[in-house]
Amino acid sequence: MRTIRKVALAIFKGGKLLQVRTKSQEKVFFTLGGKIEERESEIDCLKRETKEEIGCEIDEQSIKFLTEFEDVAHGKNGAMLNIKMYGGKLIGEPKPSSEVVEIGYFDTNSDKKNLSTIAQRTIFPWLKEQGYIN
């Protein structure tokens, strides 16, 4: 079984996690971040993806590793998804750019139809348990 490896940046506001929806996804929001390119560090990937997806820089002093998740990748025919999640603070106001069409903030009370499989089953329960989100 193939494993897709990604890094994600968790941005929290009012007990909720920032999520993004791309043009290719109909209603589902995903964590901010993406796949690491060749010769790119995890932090460099987070900085690049954050700039591409929401037009913001990251306060480098605020970046800290939170945890690693692994579950079935949403809509990828049985592939697994491994996400290394970091927390951080943005410089600037997030707004959709390039492939992102919508930004939203979600918690465990949000409508599940808007969340990916890994968010519902793995990420959101852990973030709630750790006190990051409602």
Over its length of 134 residues, how does the chain's per-residue pLDDT go in tens digits? 899 999 999 999 999 999 999 887 778 999 999 999 999 999 999 999 999 999 999 999 999 999 999 998 887 788 999 999 999 999 999 999 978 999 999 999 999 999 998 999 999 999 999 999 99
> Phi and psi for 119 in degrees, rounded to 5?
-65, -45
What's the pLDDT at 1?
82
Provide the CB-side half-sphere exposure for 69 (13 A, CA).
25
Question: Could you tell me the domains of the chain?
Answer: 3-129 (3.90.79.10)
Predicted local confidence at residue 23, as pLDDT = 83
Question: 82 Cβ partners below 8 Å, 6+ apart?
Answer: 3, 4, 5, 6, 68, 69, 70
Per-residue pLDDT, 63: 98
Indicate whether this model's pTM tops 0.85: yes
Q: What angle do CA 112, 107, 15 make, to 5 degrees?
A: 175
In this structure, what are the phi and psi dihedrals at residue 101, rounded to the nearest 5 degrees?
-110, -15
